[in-house]
Structure 1
Amino acid sequence: MSRVVFLLIPRVHLLDVAGPAQVFSTADDLGHPYTLTYVAEDGEAAAVQGLVLRAETAWPPLAPDDLIIVPGWRGPTRPASTATLRHLRDHHASGGTVAGVCAGADALGRAGLLDGRRCTTHHTVQDELARLHPRAEVVRDALYIEDDRIVTSAGVASGIDVALHLVTTRHGPRAAGQVARAMLVHLHRGGTAEQISPLFRWRSHADETVHRLQDLIETRFTERLPLSLLAEATSCSERTVTRLFSRATGLTPLAYQTALRLERAEHLLGTGATAEVAAREVGFEDARTLRRLRARAAAPAGR
């Protein structure tokens, strides 16, 4: 049986705790034994959402197979003590895994665990993490990063993704899939997925016609959607559809559909599907097309 220790910092975010805790609790229910322990320096931590969480003050003995997870909090807050940070360092030095959700990455940085390693955090505090820990390599716009048993994530719902990732690495994709299904999690996103989905990234405009077009594309993104069909659905000309869509989102309708297909394909690949299966499931002609588009999306801007 493995132990998962959650280090609770004052003003902790509830979902940063509850999401990963639910993953490992569900894994335990499904036959992968885990014991969950909560530690706080003062014996309790008030969540920023108003709930007070009670915890142990003494750290349990840990083995290399155990996990430490540091959920994020809303600052400013009192940093973890030197003794607490030593627990993080010692566990990693003994072969254990330490994970930080959202601002939890800062605690890992204060423990010296981010030096020389790739890491990430919520997109609103990435610059702050890079400023506080200049020896860390902060990766922008990633859901989670694992580097030498140091795991960091963007926070909020991505805490579920990183916990499912840890279940996958320990028990395989089938076990993680069982947990995700039990939790009714629609997607187990890969770590390199963008923090903001295409479903939301290009939805901040006020054009109702384009919103209707996006609804249609999102519902039928695996199908061939000729411009004539989109024009008929909105009673616009094809030229008007392209103009309105590009003005509101910066993309053509086809580029938007391709982005949705790639996001779904990344999920399928992350859960063990072959490129051929993923390509077929999302509507691409073949795996070669999927590989080409993935390579293009991963290429640095300007290349």
Structure 2
Amino acid sequence: MSQVVFVLLPGVHLLDLAGPAQAFHSAAVLGESYRLWYVAEREQVPSAQGLPLAAETRWPELGPDDLVVVPGWRGPTLRDAPPPRAEDLARLRAHHAAGGTVASVCAGAEALGQAGLLDGRRCTTHHDLQDELAARYPRATVVRDVLFTIDDRVVTSAGIASGIDLALHLLSVRHGPAVAAKVARDMVVYARRNGHEPQASAMLRYRSHVDDTVHRVQDLIDSRFAEPLPLAYLAARAGVSERTLTRAFTRATGGLTPLRYQQALRLERAQHLISHGTVVESAAREVGFEDARMLRRLRAH
């Protein structure tokens, strides 16, 4: 079972916390193995919206597959933020050093900065705080006006609703796009936004359009991308001709055919498997390629 630990500071913004928490909770309800924890200095944490939150004061034992998230909090500046506990900062550093992933939503990037995890890495935060974050951590590269960034298992997002986009991306990378699409549907949100970054999942990168027919076909490809999906079959499921589907799909995705979109999903999943130790030949078979030649060709480009 993977654990997701939310580090709560006084004045935490409810949506910074609730968005990603709901995404991972929904994934657990849908069958993925997650346990959520909430840790803080005290057992009761005041939120920015006035609702008190209950928390644990002790951290669970963590492994490399676990995720630690610092949601944002109320405050006009980062300098005025409630200081994280030295124990929390040490835990963030140790978890990352042990191969784990750490993430922040909105002003939570300040905690990662205090832990020394932004130095030499790309990061982002809410647009109102970007200049201050850059000034406070000059060794970091603050990427402006994006929804999220990922750099060496240090994940930062812009804040508020972007925490949902971040969580969906992490679920897509870990479990494949079909799981993230199911979570998005369970939450009744459109899984369409992306971080405008190379690391953004293909499921999100090519969803920034309003063509319902293309979205339905993408949903089908997302859930079955490892299977052969002939154009005729996709067109029949969408209730349009092959030519109409190809034209609509290409227009909506900025130039991709359904086949190319499916290959993008396969490539992304294969690269994730390879990065976790799977050999190229096995990764190619798992994502639906007959052999590794096509996968090697796609990776070369």
Q: Which residue pairs with 1:185 in the alignment?
A: 189
SS at match of 1:170: helix
Q: Which residue pairs with 1:19 in the alignment?
A: 19
Residues 24 and 34 of structure 1 are in contact (CA less than 8 Å); yes or no, is this contact kept in structure 2?
yes
- Cα 1:28–1:117, aligned 2, differ >3 Å: closer, same or farther? same
Aligned-residue offset at 1:281: 3.2
Q: Which residue pairs with 1:58 in the alignment?
A: 58
Which one-letter code corresponds to 2:191 in the other structure? L
Residue among 229, 240, 263 paired with 2:208 = 263
Aligned-residue offset at 1:288: 7.6
- Cα 1:35–1:285, aligned 2, differ >3 Å: closer, same or farther? closer
Q: Deviation digits for residues 194-216 of structure 1, max 9, x if unmatched?
A: xxxxxxxxxxxxxxxxxxxxxxx
Which one-letter code corresponds to 1:287 in the other structure? G
Aligned-residue offset at 1:113: 0.3
- Cα 1:284–1:37, aligned 2, differ >3 Å: closer, same or farther? closer
Q: Deviation digits for residues 237-277 of structure 1, max 9, x if unmatched?
A: xxxxxxxxxxxxxxxxxxxxxxxx99328x97x98779x97
Please, what TM-score do these two structures have when normalized by structure 1?
Answer: 0.67
Residue among 130, 134, 138 paired with 2:142 = 138
For 2:151 and 2:184, the matched residues in 1 are separated by 24
For 1:37 and 1:82, the matched residues in 2 are separated by 19
- Cα 1:286–1:183, aligned 2, differ >3 Å: closer, same or farther? closer
For 1:32 and 1:139, the matched residues in 2 are separated by 32
Q: Which residue pairs with 1:287 in the alignment?
A: 255
SS at match of 1:287: coil
Q: How many residues are treated as equivalent by the alignment?
A: 221
- Cα 1:86–1:284, aligned 2, differ >3 Å: closer, same or farther? closer
Aligned-residue offset at 1:138: 0.2
SS at match of 1:37: strand
Residues 127 and 158 of structure 2 are in contact (CA less than 8 Å); yes or no, is this contact kept in structure 1?
yes
Residues 279 and 286 of structure 1 are in contact (CA less than 8 Å); yes or no, is this contact kept in structure 2?
no
Q: Which stretches in structure 2 are left out of the alignment for 5+ residues?
A: 198-205, 226-230, 232-244, 258-301
Which one-letter code corresponds to 1:159 in the other structure? G
Residue 158 of structure 1 pairs with residue 162 of structure 2: yes
Aligned-residue offset at 1:124: 0.8
Which one-letter code corresponds to 1:48 in the other structure? A
Residues 102 and 156 of structure 1 are in contact (CA less than 8 Å); yes or no, is this contact kept in structure 2?
yes
Residue 101 of structure 1 pairs with residue 105 of structure 2: yes
Q: Deviation digits for residues 5-27 of structure 1, max 9, x if unmatched?
A: 00001100000110001000000
SS at match of 2:17: helix
SS at match of 1:187: coil
- Cα 1:26–1:130, aligned 2, differ >3 Å: closer, same or farther? same
Aligned-residue offset at 1:48: 0.6
Q: Which stretches in structure 1 are left out of the alignment for 5+ residues?
A: 194-260, 290-303
Q: Deviation digits for residues 136-165 of structure 1, max 9, x if unmatched?
A: 000001100010000000010000000011
SS at match of 2:128: coil
Residue among 170, 173, 189 paired with 1:169 = 173
For 1:285 and 1:43, the matched residues in 2 are separated by 47
Residues 264 and 282 of structure 1 are in contact (CA less than 8 Å); yes or no, is this contact kept in structure 2?
no
Q: Which residue pairs with 1:213 in the alignment?
A: none
Q: Which residue pairs with 1:8 in the alignment?
A: 8
Q: How does 1:234-253 map to 2 (within 5 A)?
A: none
SS at match of 1:163: helix
Aligned-residue offset at 1:280: 2.5
SS at match of 2:168: helix
For 1:4 and 1:285, the matched residues in 2 are separated by 33
